[in-house]
Amino acid sequence: SMEDECKQVAAKLLKGILFKVAALERERLLKQREDVLKRYSDHKKRQEEEQKMVEEDKAKNIEAMRVKEKELRERLMKKFKQFEEKKQKTHEKIQKKKHIII
């Protein structure tokens, strides 16, 4: 009958519309998933870059501390040598004075 044919055509149209809606929804969800993965990837990349910068800063600070430590050690050794030389000269002067007294 005409009514049955109309119902069948309507059912086919509805089925086609539902498939199209499902396909569009699937595309939307895939795009959303892609966006989330990209944001996560970008975030992770930024974190890694920040961590790398922190590590580089630490390395620079350690190197700067080593240089400063070396400079301080050299200055200390120079002062110590000056002190030793002065002590030796003072000792020699004392020995000369003792010798003169005797």
Instruction: For 15-72, write each residue's pLDDT tens digit.
Output: 999 999 999 999 999 999 999 999 999 999 999 999 999 999 999 999 999 999 999 9
Calculated CA dihedral for residues 90, 96, 101, 102, nearest 10 degrees: 130
DSSP state of 1: -
Encode pLDDT of 61-97 as tens digits. Answer: 999 999 999 999 999 999 999 999 999 999 988 888 8
Q: Which residues make Cβ contacts (< 8 Å) with residue 26, sequence separation at least 6? A: none
pLDDT at 96: 83
CA 21 – CA 25 distance, rounded (Å):
6
DSSP conformation letters of 61-94: HHHHHHHHHHHHHHHHHHHHHHHHHHHHHHHHHH
pLDDT at 61: 96
pTM of this prediction?
0.49
